[in-house]
Every structure is written in C-alpha cells, then in structure tokens.
Chain A
C-alpha cells in the first residue's frame, strides 16, 4: 500500500459506484483542499457517499484516492479497510460512545500510546471543552457533543474529514460559531473536508465547493458561487431551493411572465416556455426620492408587500406583482436607507435584465 504522500495540498478523488436493491449510487467528484459541500434532498445518497469514502459500505466499482493513498480501486483490487483509511468521520447525531467519558472518547482512536490522554486533553482545550473531560456524553449539550465528536475525529490527525449534517440539530447562534470554527480548523490543519448538508445556509456558510446530488448522482459540482449563480438545470435550481423560480414564455427577445413583459438575455436557442429565476438579493427596491440608477432602468414594476421578516443584514420581503405572482426580495439595510417596508405598502422593484437567469436543462452554462 502506498504511504501517504507528503503533498501540502490535500486532495481527494472520489468515484464510487454501488448498486443495492432499491438504490444506485454513482458519484464522481474531486476536491483540492477546502470544504466540499455535498448538497441534496434526503435520500440523494449523501451519507452513502461518505460511507463509501470511509470504507463502511462495500462498493462494486470505482476508485477513491486521498492524498496519494489509494483507499479503493476496483481495477487494482484495492479496498483499504475503514480502520486503515485514517480519516475523521463526524456522524449524524455524533455517535459518541455513551459508556466512555469525554476524554476517553477523544483518546479512543489514539491506540495504546502512553501520552494519548495528554493528547486528548490538548484537543479538549483547543475546543474550549477543558472542564468537561470527565463528563459522559449524555451530560453534554448538543453543541458540546458536537465539539467532542469533532475533536475525536481530528485527534488522530486525519487529512480527510467527513461530516454528516453536523450542525443540523443546533440553534442558529451555535451553528454559526461552529461553522466558523470548522473553517478555521480546515485552514489550520489543511484538511480536505466533505460536508453533507441539506441546508442552504450551512452550505453557504462553510462551503468552498458544492456538489449537488440527487438520486445517487452528482448533477453539478463546482465553486459554490458558480453553482449558485449558474445552476445547470431547473433540477439543480430546485434542489438548491433557489427562490423566485418561475416559468415564462419567450416572446421575441423578451419574456412573458403571465402578462408581465420582462427584458432578458434571450438567446436564439431559447424558445417556448422556459424556467427563469432571479436571486432574492438581486431584486432591487427603488427609493422613491432617489434617481434610478442606470442599470436598473428596465423591468421596473410596482409591487405590494405581503409579508416581511427581519434578518441580521436587512429584510426579507415577499411582494405581489401586477400579474398576481409573488417574488421574494432580500433587501440589505444601509445607514442611508429610509424605506417604508410595512405590509400593504406598494413599492417599486427592479428585476434587472442581467440578473434574470434563464435555466437551460441539460445544457451547461459557461
């Protein structure tokens, strides 16, 4: 077996195929350092993919290489057992050993070294969990359990870290803190992280790259922003939960959205009925007194505010357009803005031509 190579940049290549009675997993992706988010609805094969990488599920074809170490290669007949893959796996619900203390949990993977408890203590203090060494997992809160699970997975110094919906059960404040800690750990330890989630916020908060999964297949992968800006297909946009997705008819070089005419970047390949979306943050609200910026001149419409919700960075507003359709707007408040956003108010919104994305099925946008 190859020894782990001494590259600085960690790299993980995954091609895994597994067919069972009711499910076929066939994923293919790779990642050079950083955090890859595996995103998809439940049953998309996210956890199966992690288990394939970890060696916990048998595969029937493929090749998995981490940092020059071949984990699995059907052609070469290599299948490293899970215990020899030296990766960190944070399971959904943490899977802490209930019969062991926090310290024993973290030292669990450190073999019989004399200084294993010393090492585990260092991890605990790095995780700000020093005072919990002798507690049992059931005596900890969810966030504390999560930190212990993370420390346990990292204690044996893996290069690859797998996380299965790690922060799903935590409240927002805690989630944000742990997301930041994870990003820091990834940098400090130059880890390759594969992060499974079905939450958009999670994906945005931690991801460098994203692979969108459905029914055991990767529909699209790439840098997070690219995938969000340019979902390859309606399916991807839908899975990503992109709001303001609607269907419109191509009329000449414009779109007809149930009676509302929109200027858009229509190409000659587009025809008939197409799926269109605009990101909530791309819908601009026009200030009544201020002059309208040049870029916002097209596609100006009146809209009535139906609901609004305050966020840390501003407002999330749902408005109804004259064609009776609803769109969502994320409006960032600035120091200058004085805007009446109470429900029932009519405002003027701009659906910028450049921001309207026409989704083309099975046709990779470049």
Chain B
C-alpha cells in the first residue's frame, strides 16, 4: 500500500500546483477580461466534471499520443508515465478550481482594486496585494476540492498512464487491483484511507464556504 500511496501523493502534489496556478489564471482571465464566448469557454472547462472518465481519457490519449501535439510539436513522450497521471489528475481537478476561484475573484469589490491603483499599484501588485488575499478562502476551497478530485482520479489515468505498479499505479488503481485479486484487508485499508481524505477535505471546504471570497 505504501508504493501506490506515495506515488499518489507525488502525482497529486504536482497536480495541485498545476491546478492552482492554471485554475487561478483562467479564473482571472474570465473575470477580468470577460472574453468573448465566455460561456462556451467556461462550459468547456467544466466539461470533465460531467463526461465519463473514459471520454476524458480518450481525448487525452489523442492529445498525448504519437499523433498528438505534445509528441508532434514538443517531442515529449508522456503516455504510460507518471507525467500522464499528473496531466489526467490536473484535467479533472481543474474545473472545481476554476469554478471556486472565479466566484471568489468576482466577489472582490472592484472599488478596492481601484483604490489600490490610485495608491500607486500596478496590475500585478493589485493582484498580489488585494485581489488574491481577499479571494483566498475561495481559492483555498477550490484548491482543496480540485486536489481531492485529482487524488481520486481513476478512469482517465488508467487509459493514459496505465496501471504499472511503482510507476503509474496510484491509490485508486491499486484499490481496483486489490479487489480483482481478492485482497480484502488491503482493499479495506485503502478504501478507508480514501474515504477519510475525502471527508476531511469536504469538511474543510464546508467550514470555509460561508465566507468564500467574502471579505473578512
């Protein structure tokens, strides 16, 4: 159980960083610039929430595969490596982050950002000193939800990263294997561990939620 747990933690840690930075950047872009076709863009970002994991996995196979842009343009092989597991985890965790971050950033009073500008802040400083600190609860909630979702990622990971023990076999995949091979005790342990992690993260988010994005 140690190997898959350790691998899961590593994969999830990297995915968490990606989810947070990409998710916050996307949310900012959506809130600040109100890009044309925003609804379509937002819907596309949310899509992994509702699609079957096999569909997400299939798209990822196309993007990461031999004919895909990652190999074709960048020459980077990711399929069936931990990197593929990270990408799959990021894609499924991102919607939750974007959703929470968008709500939190939109709820920051624009007058506060304006005030910061009149006090000498450029846009980066406004973001760093006002917008992000004020949105921190929402951002944190999004990060926890997205990361927990990433930790539990199964289907897409199986398709693009495989189920290679010590390589790409994360905790959810290890549970699947344990069930298949009738290792009841091991299954129970891992299932309880996943349930506990999920519970703690949802509980934490619930505690933050009443004041998501709201100024304290």
Binds B, one of A82-90, A179-187, A355-363: A82-90
Cα of A165 to Cα of B216 in the assembled complex, Å: 24
Range class of the B interface residue count: 10 to 19
- Residues of A contacting B120 with CB < 8 Å? 83-84, 86, 109, 111, 156
On whether A89 and B118 interact (CB within 8 A), knowing A95-B109, A98-B215, A99-B215, the answer reads yes
Partner of A152, one of B109, B114, B119: B119
Q: Is B49 an interface residue (CB 8 A)?
A: no
Partner of A93, one of B111, B122, B129: B111
Q: Is A365 an interface residue (CB 8 A)?
A: no
- Residues of B contacting A97 with CB < 8 Å? 112, 115-116, 130, 134
Q: Nearest-CB distance from B117 to chain A (Å)?
A: 4
- Nearest B residue to A109 by beta-carbon distance? B119
Cα of A99 to Cα of B122 in the assembled complex, Å: 19
Q: Nearest-CB distance from B210 to chain A (Å)?
A: 16
Cα of A138 to Cα of B214 in the assembled complex, Å: 13
Contact check, A88 vs B215: say whether CB atoms are below 8 A apart: no
Q: Is B46 an interface residue (CB 8 A)?
A: no
- Residues of A contacting B117 with CB < 8 Å? 55-56, 81-83
Cα of A156 to Cα of B216 in the assembled complex, Å: 26
- Residues of A contacting B119 with CB < 8 Å? 83, 108-109, 152, 156
Chain B proximity mask over A129-170: 1 for CB below 8 Å, otherwise 0: 000000000100000000000001100100000000000000
Q: Is A54 an interface residue (CB 8 A)?
A: yes
Q: Identify the interface centre among B111, B115, B129: most chain A CB within 10 Å of its CB.
A: B115
Partner of A83, one of B121, B130, B215: B121
Q: Is A91 an interface residue (CB 8 A)?
A: yes
- Residues of B contacting A81 with CB < 8 Å? 117, 122
Partner of B122, one of A56, A83, A109: A83
Q: Identify the interface centre among B109, B114, B130, B134: most chain A CB within 10 Å of its CB.
A: B114
Q: Nearest-CB distance from A325 to chain B (Å)?
A: 45
A residues contacting the other copy or chain, number (CB 8 A) = 27
- Residues of A contacting B118 with CB < 8 Å? 54, 56, 82-83, 85, 87-89, 109, 153
Chain B proximity mask over A48-70: 1 for CB below 8 Å, otherwise 0: 00010011100000000000000
Partner of A95, one of B115, B121, B133, B216: B115
Q: Nearest-CB distance from B156 to chain A (Å)?
A: 38
- Residues of A contacting B216 with CB < 8 Å? 98-99, 138
- Nearest A residue to B214 by beta-carbon distance? A98
Contact check, A95 vs B114: say whether CB atoms are below 8 A apart: yes
- Nearest B residue to A51 by beta-carbon distance? B114
Q: Nearest-CB distance from B211 to chain A (Å)?
A: 11
A:19-72 near B, CB below 8 Å:
51, 54-56
Cα of A109 to Cα of B114 in the assembled complex, Å: 12
On whether A108 and B134 interact (CB within 8 A), knowing A91-B111, A98-B215, the answer reads no
Cα of A109 to Cα of B117 in the assembled complex, Å: 9
- Nearest A residue to B116 by beta-carbon distance? A108
A:263-304 near B, CB below 8 Å:
none
Cα of A311 to Cα of B122 in the assembled complex, Å: 49
- Nearest A residue to B129 by beta-carbon distance? A108
A:70-125 near B, CB below 8 Å:
81-89, 91-93, 95, 97-99, 108-109, 111
Chain A proximity mask over B96-130: 1 for CB below 8 Å, otherwise 0: 00000000000001011011111111100000011
- Residues of B contacting A88 with CB < 8 Å? 118
Cα of A168 to Cα of B82 in the assembled complex, Å: 61
- Nearest B residue to A108 by beta-carbon distance? B119
Cα of A98 to Cα of B133 in the assembled complex, Å: 10
Contact check, B133 vs A91: say whether CB atoms are below 8 A apart: no
- Residues of A contacting B215 with CB < 8 Å? 98-99
On whether A56 and B114 interact (CB within 8 A), knowing A83-B120, A99-B215, A152-B119, the answer reads yes
Cα of A211 to Cα of B116 in the assembled complex, Å: 28
Cα of A82 to Cα of B119 in the assembled complex, Å: 8
- Residues of A contacting B111 with CB < 8 Å? 91-93, 95
Q: Nearest-CB distance from B20 to chain A (Å)?
A: 19
Cα of A85 to Cα of B121 in the assembled complex, Å: 11
Q: Identify the interface centre among A51, A54, A98, A111: most chain B CB within 10 Å of its CB.
A: A98
Cα of A85 to Cα of B118 in the assembled complex, Å: 7
Cα of A109 to Cα of B118 in the assembled complex, Å: 8
Partner of B134, one of A55, A98, A138: A98
- Residues of A contacting B115 with CB < 8 Å? 89, 91, 95, 97
On whether A91 and B134 interact (CB within 8 A), knowing A83-B121, A83-B122, the answer reads no
- Residues of A contacting B112 with CB < 8 Å? 95, 97-98
B:117-166 near A, CB below 8 Å:
117-122, 129-130, 133-134
Contact check, A99 vs B109: say whether CB atoms are below 8 A apart: no
Residue contacts A-B, CB under 8 angstroms, 6 given: A54-B118, A83-B119, A95-B112, A98-B134, A152-B119, A156-B120
Q: A91-B114, A95-B111 are in contact. List 9 more A-B contacts (CB 8 A).
A: A54-B114, A56-B117, A82-B117, A82-B118, A83-B119, A92-B111, A98-B112, A108-B119, A111-B120
5 nearest CB pairs, A to B: A109-B119, A98-B215, A82-B117, A95-B111, A95-B115
